[in-house]
Amino acid sequence: MTSNCKAFRARILHFTDIPDPSAGQGFEYYDDGVLVIEQGLVKQLDSAKNMAAGGFDLSQCEHFPDHLLMPGFIDSHIHSPQTDVIVSYGEQLLDWLNKFTFPNELKFSCREFASQKAEEFIDILLENGTTSAMVFTSVFAQSTDAFFDVANKRNMRMMAGKVMMDRNAPEGLLDTPKQSETECRALIEKWHKVGRMRYALTPRFAPTSSPEQLAVAGQLYRDYPGLYLQTHLSENIQEVAWIKELFPSAKDYLDVYDHYGLLGTRSVFAHGIHLNDREVQRLADTGSGIAFCPTSNLFIGSGLLNMQRLEDAGIPISMATDVGGGTSFSLLRTLAEAYKILQVQQQTLHPLKGLYMATLGNARSLMLDGYIGNFETHKEADFVLLNLTPNRLQRARQAVANSLEDTLFALMMLGDEMNVDRTYIMGKLAYQRHNSEQGE
């Protein structure tokens, strides 16, 4: 092994496709596996036995015999300025925005504050095993610049954008179509495709953008190849009714975005709970994605996503926390709430499918699977080391787990950031839990 190489020996799980649990396909699991990394990229993955038989010296590995090593989690929709308003009491979407979210986002006009909060936000992502995310910053361009600065220094694969909003919010939080065009262009030219950074156009949602501003978003989307677009869609019943008043000539909510050219394979619409059949078909026809935000949908009381309906239509669905509407940064917690939302609709979420969605599935939905999502050779080595038994309850439950699937189901349903012992970005240790055991 050369000096640029590192090797990790642990239980290892990753996905190669949508898992088919009954056929045992779409995933690879090693009870005792070795992941070799060279210059931040995956070089090799195999069982310790095969590696040793091929002449590899296992004593070079950092050894975590009881840990589960997995690709880092990917969060397809989250708000960096909302860490401090997480679990704000008692309101549904529109009142929650006015009462808690907008006042807090005003603080991000200060660059220094925005920088500190970006550092803290990324520390919390890493503590939760999240290595990539698609992020709403705030309306203030300097807060977006600060976010990219921090994410770039940490070398994380991130998509983010300045929120565009020019109406129906407090005066101090509004931009104008012209201002958002100028500021977005400057941010795109400074950050898009720099290192692991990608720019995501971010009109907050149709109610807070004028038709002129949505037209600017459409123009920018056409002007710069490879940009992403993120916004909210059909989250809450009152919101949908408001769209009818604000855009009386649109066929429905999605049609507003469609009219301005905002649909496509790089477009991610958060929520999509209350969609009509035409909207579902149109999302599918354009390859546009839906970000499923279970803890948020329950916490702000928005509704239950019929995931099966969207999947059957062929819409790419990704998993997201939507903090601060969501109540946890943990993708494991998020999967547990997704499972319950599906249960009450007589649908289900197999643990292999859930963990696939949080890794390779989200990478695919976000068109990032050429870079991240699993341990294919040459992919970027972002990964987590999970402790399956961080507390008494999980120790008790895991002691009776009688299959890999049962072990993973207990992890998915009971797990959270307490299970994340270490997080690595391109092979480098980026987070370590204080009480985590040393490698042997």
Contact residues toward ligand GUN (CB under 6 A) are 79, 93, 97, 101, 204-205, 232, 235, 296, 322, 325
- Min dist CB 208 to ligand GUN, Å, is 7
What SS3 string covers the chain?
A: CCCCEEEEEEEEEEEEEEEECCCCEEEEEEEEEEEEEECCEEEEEEEHHHHHHCCCCHHHCEEEEEEEEEECEEEEEEEHHHHHHCCCCCCCHHHHHHHHHHHHHHHHHCHHHHHHHHHHHHHHHHHCCEEEEEEECCCCHHHHHHHHHHHHHCCCEEEEECEECCCCCCHHHCCCHHHHHHHHHHHHHHHCCCCCEEEEEEECCHHHCCHHHHHHHHHHHHHCCCCEEEEEECCCHHHHHHHHHHCCCCCCHHHHHHHCCCCCCCEEEEECCCCCHHHHHHHHHHCCEEEECHHHHHHCCCCCCCHHHHHHHCCCEEECCCCCCCCCCCHHHHHHHHHHHHHCCCCCCCHHHHHHHHHHHHHHHCCCCCCCCCCCCCCECCEEEECCCCCHHHHHHHHCCCCHHHHHHHHHHHCCHHHEEEEEECCEEEEECCCCCCCC
Choose among Zn ion, ligand GUN, none what residue 9 binds, the Cβ cut-off being 5 to 8 Å by kind: none
- Nearest residue (CB) to ligand GUN, 296 versus 387: 296
Shortest CB 120 distance to ligand GUN, Å: 18
List the single partner that 217 binds among ligand GUN, Zn ion, none, CB under 5 to 8 Å by kind: none
Instruction: Give min distance, CB of 211 to ligand GUN, in A.
Output: 18
CB nearer ligand GUN, residue 71 or residue 325: 325
Rank residues 169 and 216 by Cβ distance to ligand GUN and give the closer one. Answer: 169
Q: Nearer to ligand GUN by C-beta: 97 or 164?
A: 97
The partner in contact with residue 272, picked from Zn ion, ligand GUN, none with C-beta cut-offs of 5 to 8 angstroms by kind, is none
The site partner of 252 among Zn ion, ligand GUN, none (C-beta below 5 to 8 Å per kind) is none
* Nearest CB to ligand GUN, comparing residues 101 and 328: 101
Q: Which does 85 bind (CB under 5 to 8 A by kind): ligand GUN, Zn ion, none?
A: none
Cβ 216 to ligand GUN shortest distance, Å: 18
Number of residue whose CB is nearest ligand GUN: 325
Minimum separation from the CB atom of position 308 to ligand GUN (A): 22
Whole-number minimum distance, CB 310 to Zn ion, in Å?
17
**Residue 183 or residue 322: which is nearer to ligand GUN going by CB?**
322
Give the burial class of 112: count Cβ atoms within 10 A of its Cβ; 0-12 exposed, 13-18 middle, 19 or more buried.
Answer: exposed
- Residues 322-361 binding Zn ion (CB under 5 A) are 322
Q: With respect to Zn ion, which residue has the nearer C-beta, 37 or 135?
A: 135
Plot region of 40 (φ>0 → left; ψ -120 to 50 → alpha; else → beta):
left
**Which C-beta is closer to Zn ion: that of 13 or that of 78?**
78
Nearest distance, CB of residue 361 and ligand GUN, angstroms: 21
Q: Which does 80 bind (CB under 5 to 8 A by kind): ligand GUN, Zn ion, none?
A: none
Stretch 305-324: interaction string toward Zn ion, x if CB under 5 A = -----------------x--
List binders of Zn ion among 257-286 (CB under 5 A): 270
Which residues would be at the binding site for Zn ion (CB under 5 A)? 270, 322
